[in-house]
Amino acid sequence: MKIFIGCAAIVIAGLAGIIDAHAVGLDGKTVSVGVYTTHFGPLTLASNTATATVGSSVEFPVGSLMSTVTSNVIPVSIDLTPTTIDFHYPNGAQATATSFNGYIFNFPDLGVPGITGVSVDPLSTLSPVGFSFTADSVRVNVEGLSIPRNTDIILDITVAAVPEPNDLVLMLVGLGVAGVMARRRRTAHECTIAKPFVSPSHVTRAL
C-alpha cells in the first residue's frame, strides 16, 4: 500500500514538473514584426522587419521600426512578456485609414499547437480596430486610430504548453509503473479473499 502511494506521488510530481517546465508562453521565443498596410492596394510590408528574442527587456523600443514609405520612425515601443504584447505610444500617433494598417508578428519556433487565444487586456487604454491569430502569428489592425500620448494597447496571448518527446516517454513510463503496482495490489487482495478459514474439526480423514 505504501509503495503504491509513493509511486503515484512520484508520477503526479513528474506530470506537474512537465507542465511547469514547458508552460512558458512566449518567453525565450524568437519574434519578428513588421508594419503592413493595404493603403497602396494589396497587403504590403511598409516598414523594415525587426527580430528579437522575448525576454526581460523591451524587445522593440522606439526606433526599431521605420517606414519604408516616408523614412520616418514609427512612434511605438513594443514590449513582449510570456503572455502579453504591449504597444506603448509615448508621443501618440495617427494611423492611416485603410482596410488594414498595423502589425504582423511571427513566432517561428513556437511549435504545435502554439498560440490558442488572443484578447484585449483590461489594462489597455485603447483597443485596436481588430486582431487575428494563427498558431505562430498575430495580426493587430490599428487603421484610422487617433492614438493619444502615453497610450497602451495590450493584448493577452495564450500559448499551449508543448511537452518534449523525452518528457512524454517519462510520463508514460511513470503511468505504467503506477498501473503495475495497482494491479499487483489488487491481485494480492483477491488471493487473500479466495482462501477461507477452515476449522480443523470439519476436516474428514480418509481411513
In this structure, are 45 and 99 located in the same domain? Answer: yes
In this structure, are 67 and 134 located in the same domain? Answer: yes
In this structure, are 42 and 133 located in the same domain? Answer: yes
Structure confidence by residue, pLDDT tens digits, 62-107? 999 999 999 999 999 999 999 999 999 999 999 999 999 999 999 9
How does residue 112 score in pLDDT terms, banded at 50, 70 and 90? confident
- Domain limit, last residue, from 159, 176, 192: 159
In the chain, beta strands by DSSP E: 30-37, 44-45, 50-53, 77-80, 84-89, 93-94, 101-106, 115-120, 130-134, 137-141, 146-147, 151-159
Q: pTM value?
A: 0.71
CA distances from 167 to 4, 130, 145, 151 (A): 22, 38, 46, 43
In this structure, are 71 and 53 located in the same domain? Answer: yes
Instruction: Name, in order, each residue with C-beta under 8 angstroms of 137's C-beta and a sequence gap of 6 or more.
Output: 104, 105, 106, 107, 115
In this structure, are 70 and 87 located in the same domain? Answer: yes
In this structure, are 12 and 45 located in the same domain? Answer: no
In this structure, are 76 and 170 located in the same domain? Answer: no
Structure confidence by residue, pLDDT tens digits, 123-170? 999 999 999 999 999 999 999 999 999 999 999 999 997 666 655 445
Residue 141: which domain range? 25-159
Q: Does residue 207 lie within any of the structural domains?
A: no
The DSSP output letter for 197 is: -
Angle at 61 (CA atoms; ends 59, 62), nearest 5 degrees:
155
In this structure, are 112 and 138 located in the same domain? Answer: yes
Q: Does residue 175 lie within any of the structural domains?
A: yes
Lookup: cell for 46:
511598409
In this structure, are 8 and 61 located in the same domain? Answer: no
Q: Does residue 134 lie within any of the structural domains?
A: yes
Position 161 scores a pLDDT of: 76
Q: Does residue 109 lie within any of the structural domains?
A: yes
Average pLDDT over residues 93-122: 96
Domain count, the chain: 2
